[in-house]
Amino acid sequence: MLEQPILKLNGHSLTVQDVVNVARKGYQVSLDPAAVSFVERGSSMVRRWVDSGRVIYGITTGFGDLASVTISPDQSQQLQENLLKSHACGVGSPLPEETVRAIMLLRINTLIRGFSGIGLPALTQLVNFLNLGIHPVIPDQGSVGASGDLCPLSHLAVAMLGFGEVFFNGKRMEALAAMKEAGLEPIRLGPKEGLALNNGTAALTGLAVLALYDAKKLLKLADIVGALSIEALHGVPYAFDARTHELRPHVGQKNVAANIRKLIEGSRIVETYKKDRVQDAYSLRCMPQVHGASRDAIDYVSQKIEIEINSVTDNPIIFPSDEDVISGGNFHGQPIALAMDFFGIAMAEIANISERRTARLVDHKLSGLPPFLVENSGVNSGFMIPQYVAAAVVSENKILAHPASVDSIPTSANQEDHVSMGFHASKKGQLILENAKKALAIELLAAAQGIDFSHPLKPGKGTSVAHDRIREAIPHVKEDVFLYPLIDRALSLVGSGTLVAAVEEAVGPLA
């Protein structure tokens, strides 16, 4: 078995691609020796403060509304372990292992900064779990996004003490059994270490990073699929003229218009029919404005996530150089909650406009194509019901796109009286993204079917390659067949990235 590449962590330079490499490709991690010295300095200072009797939230006091309760130094370890055991109380289905790996990585990258008070043995245990593939079972319900992701991160951390369950070597088992099999021992927590492990935004951000990565790939695919619909519907090219977009120079809009021009370049279909009318319906004509606005929104989300994955998000924060500790609010998930609400809206609109193009393709009164894209319609229903399915997932997205971040609810006896619901925002962002893939897969099928009726006229340089790749995987539908497998294959094309890669090989990189 080949050794995986090793990613060195220093808390400052983690990228979205790094997270994907660790979460999905199994990359290993190591701690930058220069950063380790900051970890040791912070943990030594915490121990001195405890020995001197200094009153510090979460270290020598209780938590949340119990912050006024003083804890003696000899109860420090029990306090931290009790914190994790009591807070590990989530419900629901386990998060996917790739998500858990992303969460573990983000927690390590925060802790390596040295502002959290964790000691090197506890941090090393988390690194070992990640590198050995010991993935704690983390239920997908229980976080309100402030104080960070207390519940899911407690499930992560408590496994390091030997409690709870993990996935290891393809099996779900008790954490202690997995540790024994891997040659590890449970750790004992020092002052602040439980709080350092479970207080922060690593869970809601871990979900967000993976969704962001997939969304960026899907945006290119959306332009390709939309261009296929232009060809199938004998669309006109005028709305994509660069001069129009220079007068309203939103980056996303300009890039989508450039992509469409590149994809349909040389199209005999467009050339043949472009004199038929001066404009198309909005779902075709306004693709640069709609797809482009979603792209700009995703760029904003990307900026927020890139900051967050290299931030210190727990509480209280230790400042060793000042010998100070501050109880602040960096655990609050609002920056990512708002961003992921925006993410959900942006991806819902990609699906929304896709379904409208599918609806035009199946409506012979609008398309000029055979009813429901099939010959001998009547005895054949053709693509009638796939459009229903697209409408269903788009309608579901409209419900999911309601912002989670406006739905705060008080917790901890009103000490924590405003929370972000950022975990919900990230979770539903992922669901919306998956639905967008389904809507685009259905449009891809319908558009390819529509282009078939333009034979022998050839589509453009990019759309021609896309159509050929689709037909290599999915045949033309001459009469009603069991459609589910075809939609499933289309969904694989959408998710795999092979269609985008083939088109870019032919026309060059898409924006």
H helix or E strand, kind and range, residue 471: helix 461-473
Q: Which of 183, 176, 108 is nearest to 136 (CA)?
A: 176
57 noted as active-site residue: yes
- How far apart are the C-alpha atoms of 260 and 500, rounded to whole Å? 13
Give phi and psi for 146, each to the nearest 5: 180, 125
The DSSP code sequence of 378-425 is TTB-TTHHHHHHHHHHHHHHHHHTS-GGG----BTTTTB-----HHHH
Beta strand spans in 120-208 (E)? 135-136, 139-141, 165-168, 171-174
Please tell me which residue in 27, 57, 213, 273 is annotated as part of the active site: 57
Q: Which of 387, 509, 493, 395 is nearest to 450 (CA)?
A: 387
As given in the structure block, the two tokens for residue 96 are 């996917």
3-state secondary structure of 87: helix
Classify residue 69 as left (phi > 0), alpha (psi -120 to 50) or beta: beta
Strand partners, 174: 165
- How many other CB atoms are found less than 10 A from the CB of residue 400? 20
Residue 384 contacts residue 473 (beta carbons within 8 Å): no
Residue 140 contacts residue 94 (beta carbons within 8 Å): yes
Residues catalogued as catalytic:
57
